[in-house]
Amino acid sequence: MIAIPAVDLRDGACVQLVGGSYKEERVRLDNPVEVARSWEHFGFSRLHVVDLDAATGRGSNLFVVRAILDDVDIPVQVGGGIRSGDLVEELLDAGATNVIVGTRAIEEMEWLAGIAARHPGEIVVACDVRERRITTRGWVRTLPLDILDAVEELNALPLGGLLVTAVHREGQMQGTDLPLMEDVAESSHFPVYASGGVASMQDMRALEHRGIAGVVIGMALYTGALDPAVLAGEFHE
């Protein structure tokens, strides 16, 4: 299992939000490229870059995403507001290892099937989950769709993985939703990446023991709750 630092972009800065709320911004760093470079230097083997403004229709940080892709040498998975085939192509051409699609992928499975067929193994589907229900449109819309039912449908596609975010634990550093992650890992035919609530090395080891392939970590790294050198040393490719 690998640890994957999150670089969440808002207004050109790197931020961390509590519980997915734009009113609860706890961390803001003005140079996301420098932040991404620092995680690479600590020894992490992958980065997770998300354009929060694009995800919620507030704007775009594509220029920052491109700058990060140009600057770092480790694999980068990119997500946030990616709802067109053209943008998927653009990001892959710019150097993204994987492209993460969420809202449109969940709401329009035919579109997802087409994108996945054109880019087998390169598309990661983001399933943002609050109490077992999938949320879309930047966590503001909750669908009457159970996560395990969604996984069953997704298993038929040539995906590169599933990213499951426990939105109800996001940014709170109170531990992740282990039953949720274990159930998804058991049901999925693809690598499962977990996000939301991780606060300790014990959380990381518990996820590893439940079959999770990687963990996206934000708040715990940015607040110093987890030592980046220790984390990267134990959980790397």
Alpha helical stretches, state H, the chain: 32-42, 52-55, 62-71, 85-94, 103-107, 109-118, 147-154, 178-187, 201-209, 219-222, 228-234
Cα–Cα distances in angstroms (integers) from residue 179 to residues 54, 191, 217, in the given order: 31, 17, 18
Active-site residue, selected from the candidate residues 51, 128, 177, 203: 128
Residues whose CB falls within 8 Å of the CB of residue 217, separated by 6 or more in sequence, listed in order: 3, 4, 5, 6, 195, 198, 226, 231
DSSP symbols for 203-229: HHHHHHHTT-SEEEE-HHHHTTSS-HH
The set of residues, in sequence order, having a beta carbon less than 8 Å from that of 183 and lying 6+ positions away, is: 147, 148
Catalytic residue among 8, 51, 53, 203: 8
Interatomic CA distance for residues 171 and 219, integer angstroms:
5
Active site residue 8: yes
The residue type found at 214 is G
Q: Mind telling me the catalytic residues?
A: 8, 128
